[in-house]
Amino acid sequence: MAGMPKKVLERATKMLKVLEESHSKEELERKIETSRNEMEGVQLSFVQLDDPIIEQIKEDILNIDINTLTPVEALMKLNEIKSLLEGKKK
C-alpha cells in the first residue's frame, strides 16, 4: 500500500495470517492475545515520521514566531503546508 509504513503492513500481514490459520473462536482469541503481548509497548503509526516533507513542515512550524504572525500570514502559511501535502499525494 503506497505510503503505508512498513511496520503497519507487517503487522497487518501477521494478523491476516493468524485469522487465516484460526479454526475456532477460542483459538483465534488466544492467538490475538499472544500477538498483542508480543507487540506490547509498540505504537504503530500511519504517518511515516522520517518523511522529508513532514520534516520540512515541522521545521517551518517551529520557525514561526506566532506572537508576530498576522491572521493573513497564518492562513498563507497554512496554504503553503497544504500545497506541500497535496504535491506529495500526486
Give the tens place of pLDDT for each residue, 41-53: 666 566 666 778 8
Rounded to an integer, the average pLDDT of 9-33 is 78
Question: Total structural domains in the chain?
Answer: 2
Please tell me whether residues 32 and 59 are part of one structural domain: no
Domain membership of residue 45 (yes or no) is no
Domain assignment present for 46: no
- Identify whether 44 is part of a domain: no
Q: Which domain holds residue 23?
A: 6-39
35 and 60 housed in the same domain: no
In a domain, 20, yes or no: yes
68 found inside a domain = yes
The verdict on 60 and 83 lying in the same domain is yes
Q: Is the pTM of this model over 0.75?
A: no
Q: What does the pLDDT look like over 75-84, one tens digit per residue?
A: 999 999 899 8
Per-residue exposure over 10-28, b if at least 16 CB sit within 10 Å of its own CB, e if not: eeeeeeeebeeeeeeeeee
Distance CA 2, CA 89 (A): 10
| Rounded Cα distance, 21 and 68, in Å | 59
